[in-house]
Structure 1
């Protein structure tokens, strides 16, 4: 049986390597490594100038991961930017929202990681807390805290016990979008996972599984994306 092809959204950032200093499509190596360790094939999806291309891209995938990264621009959820909200990544917002909408429309299994959970919530009409303390280990350092699953959810079926997870975020879900269900929480009540019940496999996690060793969430994505 062929392995499912899992597309992973990427950053578009200035980068330097060798003699070059150019814009580059970047993705921390943990993402494709995690997909491979979970039984899938990984494909990088750089931002496209034309979000309308998202449906054609998603049609060629078996599953989709929306990776972590920059803060979602507050205008996307009807808010004014807080002084502690980072600069907008408008091209990436537009592209990843289009990828999410295409995945939801086609029933393509979808996993949102950190920013990916936040974008999923925004895409469905939810809002975000623009600053939250205590969910990093310091600037450029991943922290760790415990998340507790909500019994009866998809996430709880994958990870039924409380676990410590690698975390690095200063924003989170505020108003949960209609249709989304919280499926894990941190000790302070922060929504750490949310999912969309129904026929399709749709889950977002606020932490960074690519920085840990627990493959159960991505194994669930790969199983859902595998041919039947």
Structure 2
């Protein structure tokens, strides 16, 4: 008797999303770590997360060949200011030069391919630096065209208080964020000391804070989906309609990339087994 193939085995696999890890000592040993909330966010997007340790230059291409998208996580560490020709402003703050060394070229290569890219907090800062932009190393000490910036660092208190709504953002009409959300203004959390200073050539502002600080941007002429956010949409994302809309848009882009890269065979119609 010939058995029917399991139709579920022929369905498209979930898109694979690379999640670059940070470098952190635990005890006397170095570890690669990634926050669970970012992994959860990838799954909420309908994708399979793949945490990637520090990669060698020759490994970046093969890793991207395996993937259908990249999610750049936030981190307590800052992008090293040598990448935008500045000295370290506050040596007490953590850095992660090993992450910088491979995520900056990873970002450029992913966008050049047209692969979906979603940057969060540090990830957004990395993307700006990767394309030639600079960062305020201490937003609370900086001044913009509208005057002194507000303090965008996390407040004291519980984790829920730190990740609670901190200020609104104003969405720039006609951009990718406006298209996804169809909102002019909404509230976000704020847990960052660094932020975009000069936006890299070719990047487009997608949203600003009331003090004028860039809160979201994209690569304007990129072939594929990309969006970088200064706030943390991954925090309790399942209960946040804005976060879910953003993750679903990212997930849809990753599925489109998967399907273009490797078209799936159609699932055959059910047939009665032939004895």
**TM norm structure 2:** 0.76
Aligned to 1:138: 155
- Counterpart selection for 1:72 from 55, 79, 83: 79
Q: Superposition RMSD on alpha carbons, in Å? A: 1.8
User: CA 1:85/1:98 → structure 2, altered by over 3 Å: closer, same or farther?
Assistant: farther
Corresponding position: 1:9 with 2:20: yes
State the Cα deviation string for residues 28-75 of structure 1 (Å, max 9, x = none): 111111111121111111112x23311211111000011112111111
Give 1 or 2: higher helix fraction.
Answer: 2
Query: What is the CA distance between 1:88 and its match in structure 2?
Result: 2.8
Corresponding position: 1:202 with 2:226: yes
Q: Structure 2 unaligned segments of length 5 or more: list them.
A: 1-11, 141-150, 238-242, 261-275
Highest Rg: 1 or 2?
Answer: 2
Query: 1:136, 1:142 within 8 Å by CA — same for their partners in 2?
Result: no
- Counterpart selection for 2:202 from 164, 179, 188: 179
Aligned to 2:193: 170
Q: Distance in 1 between matches of 2:199 and 2:250?
A: 22
Classify the secondary structure of the residue corresponding to 1:36.
helix
Tell me the matched-pair count.
223
Classify the secondary structure of the residue corresponding to 2:95.
coil
User: CA 1:190/1:87 → structure 2, altered by over 3 Å: closer, same or farther?
Assistant: same
Q: Distance in 2 between matches of 1:168 and 1:101?
A: 26
Query: What is the CA distance between 1:149 and its match in structure 2?
Result: 1.1
User: CA 1:102/1:85 → structure 2, altered by over 3 Å: closer, same or farther?
Assistant: farther
Corresponding position: 1:63 with 2:87: no
Query: What is the CA distance between 1:219 and its match in structure 2?
Result: 1.4
Q: Distance in 1 between matches of 2:64 and 2:250?
A: 15
Q: Structure 1 unaligned segments of length 5 or more: list them.
A: none
Give 1 or 2: higher strand fraction.
Answer: 1
